Amino acid sequence: MRNFHAFSDEKVMTMVISSSFSTQKVKLCLQTRLFEKKRLTMYVFFYNCSMEYYANICSVSDYIATLKRLRNENLCSDGIEQNVFYYRGESHDYGTTAGQPGINRGGGLEGDNESELFRECERRLPDEFATCGSTFEKLVKMQHYGARTRLLDISLDPLQALFFALYIDPTDKGSRNDDAVVLVYRIPKKQICNWHSDKVSVVANISVYNYDDLRMDVLPDDINAFNASDSIHHLLHEIRAEKPHFRDEIVKEHLSQVYCVHPLLANPRIRSQQGAFLLYGINGDRHHLADLELSGIQKIALKIPHEAKTELMQEMWLLGRTIDNIYPDWRGVSDFFNSFWKKDIRNYYGR
C-alpha cells in the first residue's frame, strides 16, 4: 500500500512514494486554473512503478488534454499503441473501492450467493433469457437490469464516461455536491476478447459454479491433471451447457484473469454507449475477484471536484451529450423531460 505526501505550495513539487519495496522521489507537475473565482488545482502524477496518472478535471478541455497525455505515453517508438483505453464514469468518488463489480458488494461472493442469484433470475424471468445463447449473454442481461454480477460496465467513448460521472440517476441517493470520478482502464490487447471467446465461457461460468470453493492452490498446475480434477469436471459441465463440444483443455491461469469483453450489440444502449465489460475471474478462490494488475490492466483515476460539475454539465450539453441520447429508450426520454427540459443547468435533478 503506497502513501503519498505532497507539498502543495510550490509550482513544481516533490512527492515521496513510500512502499514496502522502496521510497522514491517523483516530480509532481502542478497546473492551476481560475474557476468561478476559486483556485482549483489540476494534479498529474507520474510514478515510475506503474505508470499511472491522476488528475483533477475541471473542464472538457482539461479532460481531453489529460487523455492525450495518457495516449502519448502509450505509444511505442514506431507510433503504434501498446494497449487500448476504456473508460467508466462514477458519480461518487468511492476511493479505493471505485470500479467494483456489483457482486463484490454486500456479500455477493459469500457461500453460493452468486450462483443462487443467477439461477433465481433465470427461474423468475425465463422469457428474458430465452434468446441468450451463453452464460456471458445472461450476465449482460442481468447487468442491464441492475442485478449484481462479476461484470463491470466500461466504454470505448471517453465522453460517455464523463457524462455518467456527472449524471445523477433519479433513483440514486447521490448529490451534486459529491466529487465524481472517471476511471481510465489501460488494457493490453491480449486481454480483449469477443463475446464468443472460449476464455469468456470459462470465466463467465464461474458465476454458476457451486461444487466447491474452486481453490487454485490445491488444484494441480499440469494442464492434464488440472482438467482431470473433480472441480474442473464440474466447471466443464456448466461450460458444455452452452458449448457441448468444449474440450477439456482449460488453462489454469485463465481462471485468474480479468478480460475486457466486447458483447453483442444487441440493445440500443450498448450500441449508443459503445459499451464493453470487464469480466472478472477469481483470486485464489471463487469468493474473491481477480486482480486487475495481475492481468496487466491499469486503472487510472481522474477526479472531478463537485465545484466543477456545473461548468462541465454545460459543456457536455453543448456537445449534445444528454440522457435521451445516452439512453435511447423511454427511460432516457422521460428522464430528459423530467430532469432537464426547460430547466437551468444549476437546477438539474433538483439536488
Closest CA relative to residue 187, chosen from 70, 23, 339, 42: 70
Give the Cα separation of 122 and 173 in Å (integer): 29
Confidence (pLDDT) at 348 = 54
With cell 460496465, the residue in question is 153
274-316 pLDDT, tens digit each: 889 999 999 999 999 999 999 999 999 999 999 999 899 889 8
Record the pTM.
0.80
In sequence order, what E strands does 170-264 have?
180-188, 192-194, 258-262
- pLDDT tens digits, residue range 246-259? 999 999 999 999 99
Return the pLDDT at 170: 64
Once rounded to an integer, what is the mean pLDDT over residues 106-131? Answer: 96
The whole-number pLDDT of residue 176 equals: 66
Cβ–Cβ under 8 Å, residues 252 and 198: no
Q: What is the pLDDT of residue 340?
A: 66
Average pLDDT over residues 166-176: 68
Q: How long is the chain?
A: 351
Q: Cα separation of 55 and 162, whole Å?
A: 14
> Who has greater pLDDT, 311 or 150?
150
- 27-33 CB contacts, 8 Å cutoff, 24+ apart: 33/58, 33/59, 33/62
CB 54 within 8 A of CB 2: no
pLDDT digits (tens, 9 = 90+) for 311-346: 998 898 888 777 767 776 666 666 666 766 666 655
User: From CA 297, how far away is CA 48, in angstroms rounded?
Assistant: 16
